[in-house]
Amino acid sequence: MIIGISIDENYAYVSTNLDENVMQIPFAIGKNLVSNNWFIGDEAKNENIDSTDIVIDKLYYILENDGNARIGDKSYEAEELTSIFLKHLILKFPNVEYVTIVVRNCNIKILEKLHNALMACIEDKNKCKVTTFSEAFISYIKSHTSEYYDNPIALFNFTEKALNYYELIRYKSADNLEYWKVNTKEHLSLPLDLLTGDTGKRVCDNLLCEFAKHSIQEVAYNNIILSGLGFVEASSYREFMTYVCGITEVNTDINFFAKAAVMLSRDLMEGNFSEDIVLMTDARTDVALRVNVRVSATEDKLELVKPGSEWFDIDEYSFNIIVDNEKELRFEYLKVIEGIIKEFVVDIPGSDKLRDDKTNEYEVSLKFLQQNLLQVTLTDIGFGEFYESQIKSSSREIEL
Amino acid sequence: MAIIYCGKTNNQSYYIKEADLHIKSVQELAYFIYNYAILISNSFITKNLIVYIDKSLGLTKLSSDLNEMFNRKENLVNMLTHILLNSNYYDREEVGEFRKKLIELLSLPEEEYVKRAGDMLFGLKKYEKAISQYNKIMKTNDKALQNLAFCYAKLQFYEQAADYIGELYKRTRNIEVLREAYYALKLAGNVDKIYEYEKNISEELLADWEYEIVSRIIKTRRSDELKNIEEIFLLGHDYIKENISNRIKIWKEKYRYIG
């Protein structure tokens, strides 16, 4: 069975490849201090909980803020609680082949913690993935290509807290590569619980409509998708609906991202990503990064990052270099969309003069701190058993 | 001069028995060949090394070339040169110099060759290996005998070290050599043995040597203490606070005891 889970501030939405229905489970966990049994979701939200039960209902908030929660005499990290939550959730399904969790923000802390929590359940990194809504959006459209043509596709995701706009644009470059780019710039805080009653609905309708007018600027749209709990009563937002329906065909699917996460699970499991398609989302880089080093007698540049690489996949980028008297390591990067090439340098920590020529070896490690914020660190590693490391290093952060 | 790309850190190493060391990259292998050629025996290129170059270093072309050369019993110099040329470490000019250097080495007299091999191993701190080289020529080579003693001293076998220096003294009758033997015996805790090397040694000379030893020990202790304090300062403010206060406590204890 393939599972897709989308998680927001309050709920985990779970879908599988075998069932059209999506389970909406409160992202909350509880423990009975007498029996030591854990319970999750609706059970944790149940009003009939016992006085010996402790419930943590702000799990996402704790996860986002590096928090922890005390249950009985033990303090739990958010990652540990999430892991228990996921274990209980996944246990509901037999023969799990792949699990993908998607979240709205490409926040490295949340992604890493969710990844660690999921790995504690699945124990095989080839069977699970944590990434963002944008990635799932692409997989969904990719698996429905016969229904969606070349024009952009817009998506409004209206949660209990906010409205977000996504736009998928596809185009071919001169080198015949196909680029699928998801823009996720627009965001509007819109707490649903404050916008109740007729007046509230009208205000909300106005805000939605203005937001849509501001977001949608392309002339021709292939499709507009409405997703999220906020659109349960989409028809009551008349002004907004009139506007978007006047542009193109509108599909509403409250649980869009959970279903899309299943499609992404399948793509990841089956390796359905063509090298001719470059994906560009908030989870991927839009630069081609190279470094000036002698790779062989005929090559003096090494490609480090391809456009469309997942930037938070940090283990991918580290290598060693040997320098003699050079003072700096030179990088160049191409901003794919703008077509601009830029350069930057990182200082090489001073060479050890007591060593022979060409025995100052450094490890170069690259870590993306955010989508376009790269940290490069050079650390002296000695030279095998011939020379010990002097533990010198230099580091620089570069906005690409 | 370009910056050389060496790939990712390799966790699999290859053991070079001639020098008792491990290498982890083709650059380290090339460096060893270039700088320690004198230690390389005819059996240096083995099937195991070729497999390591292929599987662990991922250099399929180089390993396939070497395999072919190995099977047709190509001479060692050509095989070593081929590794250097394909290591992305030395250029053609450097490899040319290496070939010349290698030919010069191979034309050295046997004793000089062994002595240099021993010196190389000594430089690598492979004292057991160096001992086996010096042993081959110590009967006829005073320098090798002296280095043999140094090797034992480095391994903290001070009495053996003293015996070899004593042997050197018997050959050279150089009083400075005898003094070194005395120092080694002092470290071994057996100074009386000095009379086995030289029966006619004055009390005055022994007193001078004793004085020199004490001065050396005091100097070494002082420099160790200074070095420790310098290291503490390099480790930052919190570490200084904690460690200097501990050190002051120790000094106070010492002075109380003296008082």
Supply the DSSP string of A154-177, one letter for each residue. Answer: EEEEE-SSEEEEEEEEEEE-TTS-
Distance of alpha carbon B14 from alpha carbon B21, whole angstroms: 8
pLDDT at B32 over 70: yes
User: Is B74's pLDDT higher than 70?
Assistant: yes
Residues of B within 8 A of A292 (CB-CB) are 3
ipTM of the modeled complex: 0.74
- Is the pLDDT higher at B221 or at A43? A43
Q: What is the pLDDT of residues A378-393, one digit of tens each?
A: 999 999 999 988 878 8
Which residues make Cβ contacts (< 8 Å) with residue A382, sequence separation at least 6? A361, A388, A389, A390
Q: Largest Cα–Cα distance of chain A, in whole Å? A: 81
pLDDT of residue B166: 93
**Neighboring chain A residues of B88 at a CB cutoff of 8 Å:** 294-297
For B189, phi and psi rounded to 5 degrees?
A: 75, 30
B205-220, pLDDT tens digit by residue?
A: 989 998 888 888 888 7
Residues 329-368 of A with CB under 8 A from B: 329, 356, 358-359, 361, 363
User: Where does B107-157 have alpha helices with state H?
Assistant: 110-123, 127-137, 142-154
A-to-B residue pairs, Cβ atoms closer than 8 angstroms: 72
CB-count exposure of residue B213 (10 Å: 0-12, 13-18, 19+): middle
| Residue environment code for B128-156, b if the CB has 16+ CB neighbours within 10 A, otherwise e | ebbbebbebbbeebeebbbbbbbbbbeee
* B139 lies within 8 A of chain A by CB: no
- pTM for the whole structure: 0.75
Q: Phi and psi for B76 in degrees, rounded to 5?
A: -60, -40
Chain A contact set for B28 (CB, 8 A): 383-384, 386
- Domains assigned to chain A: 136-258 (3.30.420), 287-399 (2.60.34)
DSSP string for residues in A344-362? EEEEPPPP-TTSPTT-EEE
* A324 contacts on B by Cβ (under 8 Å): 1
| In chain B, domain spans | 14-106, 134-199, 224-259
CB B158 within 8 A of CB B185: yes
Q: What's chain B's average pLDDT? A: 88
Q: Do B88 and A296 touch (CB under 8 A)?
A: yes
A73 contacts A124 by C-beta, under 8 angstroms: no
How much is the average pLDDT of A85-91?
93
Q: How far apart are the first and last CA of chain B?
A: 64
Structure tokens at B139: 């009967």
pLDDT > 70? residue A285: yes
Helix (H) and strand (E) counts in chain A: 8, 25
Can you give the pLDDT at residue A217? Answer: 76
**What's the pLDDT at A109?**
85
User: Per-residue pLDDT averaged across B131-158, rounded?
Assistant: 93
Q: Which among B8, B23, B89 has CB closest to A358?
A: B89
pLDDT > 90? residue A349: no
Q: What is the pLDDT of residue B225?
A: 67
Asked if A326's CB is within 8 angstroms of B5's CB, the reply is no
Write the pLDDT tens digit of every residue in B89-102. Answer: 999 999 999 999 99
B87 touches chain A (CB under 8 A): no
User: Residue B257 burial by CB count (10 A; 0-12/13-18/19+): exposed, middle or buried?
Assistant: exposed
Q: Is B88 on the interface with A (CB under 8 A)?
A: yes
8 Å CB contact of B25 and A300: no
> What integer pLDDT is reported at residue B82 of this predicted model?
95
More confident residue, B167 or A43: B167
